[in-house]
Amino acid sequence: MDFSAYLNMSAVWLNEHALAVVATMAVIALITEAMNGSGLRSASRATTARWLQTWLTNAGLLVCALSVASLLAPWLASSFGVVLSGESGLLAWLKEAGIPYTSQVLLGMLLLDLLNYGLHRVFHRIPLLWRLHQVHHSDTAVNASTHFRQHPVQVVVLPLMQLPMLWLLGISGVSWVLYATLSTVAQLWQHAEPGKLAHANRWLGFVLITRSAHRTHHDQRHVFHDRNYGTLFSVWDRLLGTYSAAPAEFQLGLRKLPSAKGTTQSVSFMDCLRMPFQSTTSRSADGARTQFHTPFQGKK
């Protein structure tokens, strides 16, 4: 059996066991952080409580996201099935040009990483999309579970934005499944507490988005916040001028949350669900102050 057959078999298996794979990754990340990464054994009660609250909040958002995805599955499955058939777009043309199958799959994964970089920048630049994405950035106790801190509405909006681009690029289902799995592993690792191997991270950072690089992206200061958009590879940030080295100290979270408390120190599950629909003066992606309003509220 050649390597391309293994790629297909792996993609099929991962696709059929996607929920179990994600749940297993989350459990492993939780156990690893509790035992080693987060220093909870020597932390104060307040720090431990905040860490646990973050995990519970983010786990609740994951359940919401999976519920929304399951409701949309009948429509999304058929749409993605057509788009990811590999019968149209750039990679389909390369296939006709005789490019080896394995190269097509790997190139598809590389293009997916570039697409994710672009969409990530869009979610930061467009105020309406930032209202959804700010939920992810509201976490001040950033840990592996922060990867799952996504608003359920974003779970609907993001696939709708991805579909036309996937069709134009001609991404295959194999590339999609393999990249989704690899990027989930990477983002769980990136959101975890930075390791002590600073020298190794520095070398990895020439190629990959490391923990410190992504934590820089979660810094609330504009000079760091709008940097390091990459998912897997740092090359896109480096080529397009959005890469930044990590600051000496991090200021995680948002400057001001859309909540009555007006603080980022305690963000509950319900706070996260309400956040995009509340009126407040909140930091936009370009560093400006933008007045947000609910759909039922006029501007004052």
Q: Distance between CA atoms of 208 and 290, rounded to whole angstroms?
A: 33
**Number of residues written out for the chain:** 300
pLDDT of residue 217: 96
- Integer distance in angstroms from the first to the last C-alpha of the chain? 67
- Residue 169's φ and ψ, nearest 5 degrees, are -80, -25
pLDDT of residue 93: 87
pLDDT of residue 195: 60
Report pLDDT digits (tens) over 149-160. Answer: 999 999 999 999
Which token pair is 245?
């080295």
- Residue 139: name the closest of 261, 237, 247, 266 by CA: 266
Average pLDDT by stretches of 10, the chain with 300 residues: 81 86 86 64 68 90 92 87 87 83 93 98 96 94 92 95 95 94 93 65 84 94 93 96 92 73 68 86 42 33
Residue with the two structure tokens 């959804």: 132
Please report, for the chain, how many H helices and E strands are present, in that order.
13, 2
- Residue 266's φ and ψ, nearest 5 degrees, are -140, 110
pLDDT of residue 69: 87
pLDDT of residue 286: 43
Q: Is residue 219 within 8 Å of 149, Cβ to Cβ? A: no
pLDDT of residue 199: 55
Q: Is residue 123 within 8 Å of 37, Cβ to Cβ? A: no
Q: Distance between CA atoms of 98 and 257, rounded to whole angstroms?
A: 53
Report pLDDT digits (tens) over 81-107. Answer: 889 988 888 888 887 777 888 999 999
pLDDT of residue 297: 32
Q: Distance between CA atoms of 38 and 33, rounded to whole angstroms?
A: 5
Q: Is residue 191 within 8 Å of 146, Cβ to Cβ? A: yes
pLDDT of residue 53: 86
pLDDT of residue 12: 87
Q: Distance between CA atoms of 299 and 276, rounded to whole angstroms?
A: 16
Q: Is residue 11 within 8 Å of 109, Cβ to Cβ? A: no
Residues 6 or more apart whose CB falls under 8 angstroms from that of 164 comprise none
280 three-state secondary structure? strand
Residue with the two structure tokens 């801190």: 149
pLDDT of residue 300: 33
- Rounded to two decimals, the pTM is 0.85
